[in-house]
Structure 1
Amino acid sequence: MMNSQPEFNLLVIGKRSQTIEDIREENKKNLEHGEKMFHLIENNACVGMITYLPQNPNDLHPWIGLLIIHKEHERAGIGTLALKLLDDELAAQRIDKVRLCVQHGNHKGASFWQKNGFHKISDGLDNYNNQIDIYEKKK
């Protein structure tokens, strides 16, 4: 899944693909913080995933960690559907706002989030020292 989006990998981690060990280490760290992960399945195949932290240890707000759609399934509405499902999950938990970050240069990602009601609230650096914009959406 992650390696179906080499441009995203290059932007975030500085290389076009990740090893299984890279992915396991990243997932291990996130799961230790309580990350929830939803796989998006179509015709018995994983076509994407969305993750979120109910409470980010850095600011105690809920954060979307990752929304990734397999390259072959982009622009089919799967990302929008995944976000709707996550919105329903957050509403059931009475979570009234959620944050996320977008790496500078990820114009496609920034456009998607803005179209889905997120607005920029600040900027900063991610765990890889990349410049990011921080977005938030209130329910």
Structure 2
Amino acid sequence: MNSHPKFNLLVIGKQFQTDEDIREENKKNLEYGEKMFHLNENNECVGIITYLPQNPNDHHPWIGLLIIHKEHERAGIGTLALKLLEEELVAQRIDKVRLCVQNGNHKGASFWKKNGFHKISDGLDIHNNQIDIYEKNYSYSKPYSFKAVE
């Protein structure tokens, strides 16, 4: 988390989070049912991706965080992590997922747009930051269909 002080400053208003800050936020998110995946390379955690299967506010699945350690950026790890998460969502028959991007996070907005997300609205996050809300729809083949018989 602390390899991106500009992101931390944008979101929480300070460059670095303490271990206690991180534990407290993770605890709250896990209570909501958030799923967290560590992205490991050679037994080293190089990133995190999280998602909430059902946001209590709108009842849609949400990606909560995708962050890659600064030393491992631009190696395709974020794109691969997103692809793996999307495969899991489709396997669960989830047809859309949402996320938010803080205003000013141009790098994040560009990543999500490049990966098929589109802005559907805006609002405020839990830290009272202006955000844009993005969504991506998935299609999957349904094994059965119904057809009216005449």
User: What is the 5 A alignment of 1:107-118?
Assistant: 107-118=106-117
Q: Of Structure 1 and Structure 2, which has the larger fraction of its residues in helix? A: 1
Question: Could you tell me how far 1:92 is from its partner in structure 2?
Answer: 1.0
User: Match of 2:2, SS?
Assistant: helix
Q: Which residue of 2 aligns with 1:28?
A: 27
Query: Does residue 77 of structure 2 align to residue 78 of structure 1?
Result: yes
Structure with higher Rg: it is 2
**TM-score, with length taken from structure 2:** 0.91
Q: RMSD value over aligned CA atoms?
A: 0.4
| Number of residue pairs aligned between Structure 1 and Structure 2 | 138
Question: Taking every aligned residue pair, what percent have the same amino acid on both sides?
Answer: 86
Q: Following superposition, which runs of at least 4 residues in structure 1 exceed 4 angstroms of deviation?
A: none
Alpha-carbon distance between aligned partners in 2 of 1:22 and 1:44, rounded to the nearest angstrom: 25
1:39-61, Cα deviation, whole Å (9 max, x unpaired): 00001100001000000011100
Superposition deviation, residue 13 in structure 1 = 0.2
The runs of 5 or more residues in structure 2 that have no matched partner are: 139-150
Residue equivalent to 1:122: 121
Q: Tell me, which stretches of 5 or more residues in structure 1 are unaligned? A: none
Q: What is the identity, as a one-letter code, of the residue corresponding to 1:30?
A: N
Aligned pairs for 1:62-77 (under 5 A) are 62-77=61-76
- Distance (whole Å) between structure 2 residues aligned to residue 8 and residue 97 of structure 1: 26
TM-score, normalised with respect to structure 1? 0.98
